[in-house]
Structure 1
């Protein structure tokens, strides 16, 4: 590629979720590729779908994937702003734009871990800074997103936890393990809404979220069993996702095939989507999910933000009312 050329992947359309007969080959951090018979497509919901139908899908399926909630250019402006701050680290491919966020194939992905991996010391301060950055905090308050949340929930006013997270996953690096959100926010009400915002187009095999079909009841059952087992623990240990009864990194597993097999009598397939910039996926606190291993064909770095919303007046987990830092212990 000539020095003057810039690869503009934001102009490349995604396959989209409604692709007859096509199922991606995907996997989690560990284990084998998930068999095609054990995967399926999530159902996208156009933003002009009647609100009652959106709410029904959310109740029935544990998630609702809303198309085009935030303007596409706004999302790509955020992507460009984020990766511009990492340009000096060698993470981006030479002669490519931060707006595209293409990984440098000659770089070691383990040296560019974000949240969910083990960030190297040289990027800790940078990761802390981008989470407090006014541009990011303004992005979280985008009026299109906030207006939709109020309409969808019927809340008069929403409250976002300050500990919103920006996660970048380079191709080949560690992705998010299997979990449900409530056990990370145990010191608050369990009636909150998670919004997962892909910041840029993200193919199913590019590190996007995958949801375990029909897993809301499983999440509730797992949490009930944990609470019973942990009754004797002091409160600070009961609410800790890293206590003696949990995995050391807070996740239930990093092997999608194994986890699905263990719980096969109670759950369905792993569901995935080809997400577009501007889409938002909302899910309940109990829905079991993880991220796919980033094996994006175009070498795109997956960037996304995890947001949690409560109704104003609800009991919030006070540990989550501080902006994320790499050493906050959560």
Structure 2
């Protein structure tokens, strides 16, 4: 992706340039499993190009934005599959969901956002999303073989279907085990972009060698929690007194990377791409600065080895205030 960093690329606290950012390493899903596993273990992530059939992913995108059309989020006369934001509307009336909501995954937005937020949540239960995308056989079969879990591979029912209209708040710095502490750190997250995302379109970014940093932070957190006298239940919660109120590590990715002497790894994404990452791999997202007004849509799907202890809270569908 020559020149990818030449596009204006920014996070909450400043720009990402060749000084503090580099490109994710893409991988062909047809490579030998041993090589793919080696890359995953070395990098903490595996960026799989065109693992899923592109047309299947785009159909989910079309269905999602067709369902949200009554909220007037889309530009008048545009095709739902394009997901072009309505320039006549206030972006703040169309908030995203998930990590970063104060108070343990609370409801975002005010009164003007009610219809949009309701439909964004209801989309999590639709057949075209749950059956056609979350349980896509190509993805499940790949994870089952890649992980070696086989028939013990369990797809968590709780997913995070996130929209991000241009200019709105991006996802803060975190690693997934923060929200999965009721189980062993054996899960695999599959981040699935639902549509093409330009390099400056709000896609996920990964901290260079972020798995090692996440593991160290988790160890420090465990020690701090013990010293603070937190109960086991309090320590398991992502929203405890030793973390930010949002469960995040930081709202400032540029500063976070500088403190840890790392760069952020970025990429453009295409419908059909999937990124697998480890439980402690640190990631965030950029601000959606797409010049064409394209709404970034993606989902977080998680898998675990059901033969080992896992976080049972993730077997329930997403809902506000579920404390996860």
Q: TM (normalized to structure 2)?
A: 0.92
- From 277, 281, 286, the equivalent of 2:280 is 286
Say if 2:129 is the partner of 1:147: no
8 A contact 2:202–2:286 mirrored in 1? yes
Counterpart among 245, 250, 254 of residue 253 in structure 1: 250
**Residues 24 and 36 in structure 1, CA contact (< 8 A), matched pair in contact too:** no
- Determine which of 102, 112, 123 is the counterpart of 2:116: 123
Q: Which residue, out of 10, 29, 32, partners 1:47?
A: 29
- 2:126 maps to 133
- Cα distance between partner residues in 1 of 2:17 and 2:4: 14
Q: Which runs of 5+ in 1 are unaligned?
A: 1-17
Q: How does 1:230-309 map to 2 (within 5 A)?
A: 230-231=225-226, 232-264=229-261, 268-309=262-303
The alignment status of 1:318 with 2:312, answered yes or no, reads: yes
- For residues 193 and 256 of structure 2, the distance between their equivalents in structure 1, rounded to whole angstroms, comes to 25
**Large movers: runs of 4+ above 6 Å:** none
> 1:127·1:325 contact (CA, 8 Å) conserved in 2?
no
Q: How does 1:174-213 map to 2 (within 5 A)?
A: 174-213=169-208
Separation (CA, whole Å) in 1 of partners of 2:322 and 2:4: 45
Matched, 1:215 2:215: no
CA–CA separation in structure 2 for the residues paired with 1:166 and 1:55: 27
- The aligned residue for residue 90 of structure 1 is 72
The alpha-carbon deviation at position 326 of structure 1 amounts to 2.3
CA distance in 2, matches of 1:309, 1:94: 38
CA distance in 2, matches of 1:284, 1:21: 25
> Which of 91, 94, 98 is the aligned partner of 1:109?
91
Question: Using the alignment, how far apart are the partners of 1:71 and 1:108 within structure 2?
Answer: 34
Distance 1:261 1:324 in 2: 34
Which residue does 1:25 correspond to in 2?
A: 8
Are 1:170 and 2:187 counterparts?
no
Asked if the contact 1:190–1:285 (Cα under 8 Å) also holds between the matched residues in 2, the reply is: yes
Distance 1:121 1:217, change over 3 A: same
In the TM superposition, residue 210 of structure 1 has moved relative to its aligned partner by 0.4
Q: SS in structure 2 opposite 1:36?
A: coil
Larger helix fraction of residues: 2
Alignment partners' CA distance in 2, 1:205 and 1:21: 9
Change (3 A) 1:21 1:112: closer
Contact between 1:109 and 1:171, CA under 8 Å: does it hold in 2?
A: yes
Matched, 1:329 2:323: yes
Q: Give 2:105's aligned residue.
A: none
2:5–2:18 CA contact under 8 A, matched in 1 = no
Contact kept in structure 2, 1:127 and 1:326, CA below 8 Å? no
1:52-107, Cα deviation, whole Å (9 max, x unpaired) = 11111101111110111111010000001111111111111111011111111121
- Over 3 Å counting, the alpha-carbon distance change for 1:133 and 1:36 in structure 2 is same
- Aligned with 2:75: secondary structure? coil
Report the CA distance between 1:130 and its aligned residue: 1.0
TM-score when scaled to structure 1?
A: 0.90
Residue of 213, 216, 220 corresponding to 1:225: 220
